[in-house]
Amino acid sequence: MLHLSKIRAITLDLDDTLWPIMPVIVRAEIALQEWLQAHAPQTASLCALPDTKRSMRLQVEQRFPEFGHDLSFLRRESIRASLVAAGDAPELAEAAFDVFFAARNAVSLYPGVTQALSKLAARYPLVALSNGNADVFRTEAAPHFQSAVSAQAFGVAKPDVRIFHATAAQLNLEPDAILHVGDDAVADAFGALNAGMQAVWINADGHVWDEKISAHPHYNPEAARLAQPLTVRHLSELCDHLLA
């Protein structure tokens, strides 16, 4: 249940909340591969092998565990590691990443999201709060957002309460005056509630709340039952609750 009278701002997750992420990543991977084929063909051949590509990423993640929250760093260093392994110039990693990142921000919003964001932004400040590395201001959702907080920039990822509290501090609001909206039951809904925010879970596929959050180390069945978020299937449904 939402306390509508308290809400002064809304934070929103991005990937799989405002747009589907997998088609974006597939297109970005293709753009990267085409660039490598033109500028570092030996690396392109190496990266055409899915198992090798996954192995490179795993090696980078193991070498830099402190950067687990920074997907751009991990992607760039995975490209660099592939260039080195293939015998190409490692300094090409920056240009290759730029190609990937441009495609990674070429998102297509879910139907109805533009209209929903426009309605919400007319009443509340909207802040992007994401574990991903998308730059909301490079997407078509940009006009509706006041600011953004990312795990990449902040240094920790949702559901860590610190990133929620930092966002509240940036807005100069108490956590319960902020409504967080996202598709991930643990990172978004449970994380926001645990940080003292209000929460809406976008549950497009009809998952069961307790089943999705039961693996969380702070899971408590009774607390989870009492603190369930408002659940909707689409952002436009949230407008019906907030703007009726």
Query: 54-63, long-range: CB within 8 Å, 24+ apart, which pairs?
Result: 56/81, 56/82, 56/85
Domain ranges within the chain, ordered by starting residue: 4-19+107-242, 22-104
Contact 120, 127 (CB under 8 A): no
Rounded to an integer, what distance in angstroms lies between the CA atom of residue 130 and that of residue 188? Answer: 9
**22-104, what's its fold?**
Four Helix Bundle (Hemerythrin (Met), subunit A) (1.20.120)
Task: Per residue of the chain (244 residues), give pLDDT as tens.
Answer: 789 999 999 999 999 999 999 999 999 999 999 999 999 999 999 999 888 889 999 999 999 999 999 999 999 999 999 999 999 999 999 999 999 999 999 999 999 999 999 999 999 999 999 999 999 999 999 999 999 999 999 999 999 999 999 999 999 999 999 999 999 999 999 999 989 999 999 999 988 886 667 666 655 555 555 467 999 999 999 998 898 6
Burial class for 88, CB neighbours closer than 10 Å (0-12, 13-18, 19+) = buried
Does the domain at 4-19+107-242 match CATH 1.10.287.130? Answer given as no
Residue whose token pair is 């019906």 = 240
The whole-angstrom separation of Cα 19 and Cα 27 is: 14
Instruction: Please tell me whether the peptide bond between 217 and the residue prior to it is cis, using omega within 30 degrees of 0.
Output: no
Global confidence as pTM:
0.91
In this structure, are residues 216 and 186 in contact, taking their beta carbons and an 8 Å threshold?
yes
CATH fold match for the domains 4-19+107-242 and 22-104: no
